[in-house]
Amino acid sequence: MKKHCSQREDTHSRRAFLHILGASAVSAVITPCLKAVDRSSRKPNIVVLFADDVGYGDLSCYGHPTIRTPNLDRLADEGLRLTSFYSAPSCVPARTQLLLGQYPPRVNLGRTGSGGNGGIPDGRITLAQALKNSGYRTGMMGKWHLGYARDESLPVGKGFDYWFGLPYSNDMRRPWVKTDVPLWLYENTKKVEHPVDQDTLTTRYTEHAVDFIRKAKDEPFFLYMAYSMAHLPIHTTDEFRGKSRAGLYGDVIQTIDWSVGRIVETLRRTGNENNTIVVFASDNGPWLDLPARMLQEGNLPWHAGLPGHLSGAKHTTLEGGPRVPCIVRWPGQIPPGRTSAEMAATMDLYVTFVKAAGGKLPDYPLDGYDLMPFLKGQTGKSPRDTFLYFKGRGAPEAIRVGPWKLRTVNGVELYNLDIDPSERYNRAAEKPELVRQLTERMRHMAEQVGVEIKNASSSKRR
């Protein structure tokens, strides 16, 4: 029998729908204008909005022809839109890089899905722990996927003061996964709902995020909003279903866009807008070429996003797997209206945020850089000029240095991503010396993170 949310949560959800429909009178009642406070001298608040399986081409500000994302478009207009931002090709590596600031081979998480007993090892300091140590109030809403079997492995055991969400992906239940472990919705360490009403997940996450921001008062805060959508099976509420020209998937993306708008509006109404760094990104690209297990109970092949002009998708180290949309906004600090093709990655957010908070970085190796001078426009160059493409804890499959990408999965492939982001033209045969240099660079960097690379096979044209 399903356990229902509290009446207060249901009320928040109904109010949220009225808000998006533009009922200004009701909005004025449900979101009271709090007295603005000058927080310019305080440590910046940090809000990370991390979507799941949302592709590089799924937002209108990244070129989607029919999905409308006005709130994300506005965020991009008021901040910086990155077009060479890298996460990882799948869920767990992406969250490892974001919350630990390290490439996946550096961290042995074990199994973190249903039935698994893995988790973040003791001694690793999460982004939440680093910020909490610097005086931040920390909250998370959404998907964790970094260990759940013990309370200490859950978000509240890894630096978050509050968590409302799922312990792993929303498909880890029958019929999509052969498991007898129930998928529960959690609040902190308490299981609060099974079966989970996934139609309202995004709206409920959002209302809990709004409450978290309102309760922060004068404390600096870190909010990590890890949407469960648009991971299959996709869901949204009746209020958003059928509103997009792009079908159910478009409805789901537009629900996320509504959520972004509601959170940003709450920052404004609580006087936190100008002292808050907001980042929107995705964990990886769209889940295309779906396995047969996913095509059940109404899941359809087109219930997935687009990699835009990139090749590949989730679970690949072609660009459409790890390259994702990323928008960064900090009013008065990050100049608005900019777009940059400079490289940046999720590991960089870890380092950037800890330093911005005046915190202490761990004394073990990290793989990120401080992006703040670049984000603020003090320099036109990102400190990152190299990126290794990992699918998991094995050897890297590719390396990017500047515009050049070497990939060694199917022979030797060399692409100039500045002029060929779709990876159509293999240049390996004409640039053997560059291939050799990049191969050595990849081997050396892989050794630094503790993995060994097999010899690259002979090149072939695509």
What residues act catalytically? 91, 145
Closest C-alpha to 36, from 275, 267, 271? 271
How far apart are the C-alpha atoms of 277 and 127, rounded to whole Å? 15
CA distance 353 to 143: 21
Tokens of 245: 């020209």
In contact, 325 and 280? CB cutoff 8 Å: yes
Q: Are 297 and 233 in contact (CB under 8 A)?
A: yes
3-state SS, 339-401, equals EEEEEEEHHHHHHHHHHHCCCCCCCCCCCCCCCHHHHCCCCCCCCCCEEEECCCCCCCCEEEE
3-class secondary structure, 415: strand
The answer to whether 54 and 230 have CB atoms below 8 angstroms apart is yes
User: Where does residue 320 rank: exposed (0-12), middle (13-18), buried (19+ CB within 10 A)?
Assistant: buried
Question: How far apart are the C-alpha atoms of 170 and 196, rounded to whole Å?
Answer: 9
Q: Parallel, antiparallel, or unpaired for β 404-407 and 398-401?
A: antiparallel
Angle at CA of residue 143, ends 171 and 14, nearest 5°: 95
Side-chain half-sphere exposure of 425, counting CA atoms within 13 A = 10
* CA nearest neighbour of 143 among 169, 162, 161: 169
